[in-house]
Structure 1
Amino acid sequence: MWISVILQADAHRAEALSEALMEHGALSVSIDDADAGTEAEKPQFGEPGMSPASLWDHSRVIALFDTDTDLATALATASAAAGLDVVPPFTVEEVAEQNWVQLTQSQFDPIRITDRLWIVPSWHESPDASAINLVLDPGMAFGTGSHPTTRLCLEWLTTEIQPGVSVLDYGCGSGILAIAAARLGAGEVTGVDIDEKAVETAADNAANNDVSLRLQVSAKPLEGTFQRVVANILTNPLKMLAPLLAARVAPGGKLALSGVLEAQAEDVIAAYAPYITLRVGATHEGWVRLEGDRPEQAVS
């Protein structure tokens, strides 16, 4: 059993209070939006290329303590260290000990992408042994198959991968799209990500699925062209990457982009217009998949 203490704080004091609580007995501390789930909820994390947002005006500092902690002393000392005259308003809840591994696993079931393709956590039996079953557990890198943008890209791969085609997955995260392409019959598959840890995760996931990927961090120059290029990132990075990604599509090749909200689609289409013509290929829960084709080179 542990004790969870939830304190109210503003954006100017939340971080200082969080640090002070850790220094005065808290086992862990997190900060979230006290207005979450209401009309006043404030998005915290912007996209690359945008100025970072400040902490929430109405923040909630959640600290976990052992049950034998002198809470009154710990809270008073931490509040004073954070420059507060009094302890902020707070509530206390008991947190029962649980099998956290079992609880986490229970939240992830197999995901049907199409009749042909499933995403299956390693602790589950496959619902359809005759389908292509990607073994993928939730982890630090983005991409478990549950997000609409990932699903949109996976659906595209199931229709656009022919045996032996070369594939580029730019912003590969967990490697789910690259692994799916390989399992669907692609030839050489390359995955690129800005995060070295994501590249390591993708390599582990590829090994678990018995496929071979060529993986690299985006700081390394990317050469060559590919018959299929897919990128599931965010709108601003996709716009900035337009020259690079369009140049990687081979003549006669195809491009698919996701991580784009419906309201952002025209901006992305405009960013790629000088290089390749995009269209909305599919939508799901407010997200879109943009698709484009590079014509075969004219024969002189």
Structure 2
Amino acid sequence: MDFIEVTLKVNADFADIFTAELGELGFDAFVETEDGFSAYIDEDKFSEEALQEVLERYADFAQVEYAVQKIERQNWNEEWERNFEPLFIGDQVSVRASFHEKPANAKYDIVINPKMSFGTGHHETTTLMIENQLTLDHQSKRVLDMGCGTGILAIMAGELGASEIVAVEIEDWTVENARENAELNNYASIDVRLGGAETIAGDKPYDIILANINRNVLLEDMPAYKAVLAPQGWLLLSGFYTEDLPMIQERASELGLDYTSHRVKNNWVSAIFKAS
């Protein structure tokens, strides 16, 4: 299946807002550009009318120009090779593509070939999740990564010593990409599943659950996460804004999860909760 690329020229102050709005429309890959960003969606899920409705809601606040084009799936490699720059997160984690040189000073080195999947580390939420992962003991732990995208957080769990890792995604091509990246980083043992929260029902308890999705999905699926979270287990969430944090905290409290901390970057949040 081909993809639709929507390129938006927009002030940096509004780029994150439009990224979140397009995420709600089904766009699931984003690449920063000099004057905005490009967003990608399966051709059969794209509605230009829905896109225009989003832009019109912000017409009084932000001037936006956009262009739409169809991209054949096999052309994606050219796109991300042109835009994907290596990252260094938390002074410990290198995130790079296979065509980048391995840095000498990285404690952890993750190689990601993202194709159309979200999660290269360039988005604030992925960076925040990795920074939070670095604060938790993963050694010999059982870890779940919901909405795994490229598999980067699951791979990070492996780097931190997790013994069992399950990763879940709703798109078949994303599952394929996550498996490829897991193998590329010598974590072929990661169990990458196709589906949503229903795929984890009845699983053995997880010591750490990672979910970098969006506010609405998190609020809906948190009971499913709690059902498979071990006593004293950790739940790391991201994909929402600072103004959404109280809502997430309230939902967690209803489920018997204790808020412990959160990080913020450009108004995006990653929060940590603990089971009693």
| Offset of residue 183 of structure 1 | 1.6
Output the TM-score relative to the length of structure 1: 0.67
Deviation, 1:162, is 3.1
The answer for the alignment partner of 2:185 in structure 1 is: 209
Matched, 1:45 2:22: yes
Partner of 1:269: 249
**CA shift in 2, pair 1:265/1:122, >3 Å:** same
1:159 positional shift:
2.0
Cα distance in 2, alignment partners of residues 130 and 178 from structure 1? 18
Change (3 A) 1:62 1:225: closer
Contact 2:10 2:65 in 1 (8 A): no
Distance of aligned partners of 1:125 and 1:292 in 2 relative to their CA distance in 1, 3 Å threshold? same
Question: Residue 168 of structure 1 is aligned with which of 144, 161, 174?
Answer: 144
User: Could you tell me how far apart the structure 1 residues matched to 2:13 and 2:262 are?
Assistant: 32
How far is 1:194 from its partner?
Answer: 1.4
- With over 3 angstroms needed to count, the CA separation of the structure-2 counterparts of 1:31 and 1:123, relative to structure 1, is closer
* 1:34-88 C-alpha deviation (Å, 9 max, x unpaired): x844999994636279xx8734269755679xxxxxxxxxxxxxxxxxxxxxxxx
CA displacement, residues 180-229 of structure 1 (integer Å, 9 cap, x when unaligned): 10122111000011112111110000010111201112255312210011
Distance between the aligned counterparts of 2:225 and 2:185, measured in 1?
27
1:154 and 2:130 aligned = yes
Check if 1:254 corresponds to 2:234. Answer: yes
Which residue number corresponds to residue 134 of structure 1?
110
1:284 is the counterpart of 2:265: yes
Moved more, 192-201 or 120-129: 120-129
Equivalent in the alignment of 2:100: 124
SS in 2 for 1:245: helix
Q: Which residue of 1 aligns with 2:199?
A: 221
Distance 1:260 1:210, change over 3 A: same
Letter in 1 for 2:118: F
Match of 1:243 in 2: 223
Structure 1 pair 130/267, CA: closer, same or farther in 2 (3 Å)?
closer
Taking a change above 3 Å as real, the CA distance of residues 289 and 195 of structure 1, as seen in their structure-2 partners, is same
* Aligned alpha-carbon RMSD (Å): 3.2
Greater per-residue helix proportion: 2
**1:117-176 alpha-carbon deviations (Å, 9 max, x no partner):** 210211111122652110112321110011110011111212213321110001111100
Q: How many percent identity over aligned positions?
A: 29
Q: 1:228 to 1:37 in 2, by over 3 A?
A: same
Q: After the TM superposition, which segments of 4 or more aligned residues of structure 1 sit over 3 Å from their partners?
A: 28-33, 35-44, 57-64, 100-104
Relative distance call for 1:283 and 1:119 in structure 2 (3 A) is: same
* Change beyond 3 A, Cα 1:46–1:119: closer
Answer yes or no: is the 8 Å Cα contact 2:234–2:272 preserved in 1: yes
Change (3 A) 1:139 1:148: same
CA distance in 2, matches of 1:260, 1:60: 24
TM-score by length of 2: 0.72
Q: Residue 111 in 1 paired to residue 87 in 2?
A: yes
Q: Is the 8 A contact 1:29 1:61 kept in 2?
A: no
Q: 1:124 to 1:61 in 2, by over 3 A?
A: closer
Amino acid at match of 1:204: E
Residue 162 and residue 221 in structure 1: after superposition, are their counterparts in 2 closer, same or farther (change >3 A)? closer
Alpha-carbon contact 2:193-2:199 (below 8 Å) kept? no
Q: 1 CA distance for matches of 2:79 and 2:192?
A: 33
What is the SS of the residue equivalent to 2:153? helix
Amino acid at match of 1:245: Y
Alpha-carbon offset, residue 273 of structure 1 = 1.6
> Counterpart of 2:262 in structure 1: which amino acid?
G
- 1:232-255 deviations in whole A, cap 9, x for unaligned? 000010001121112221012111
Alignment gaps of 5+ in structure 2:
27-46, 57-63, 71-75
Deviations 1:15-34 (A, max 9, x none): xxxxxxxxxxxxx997666x
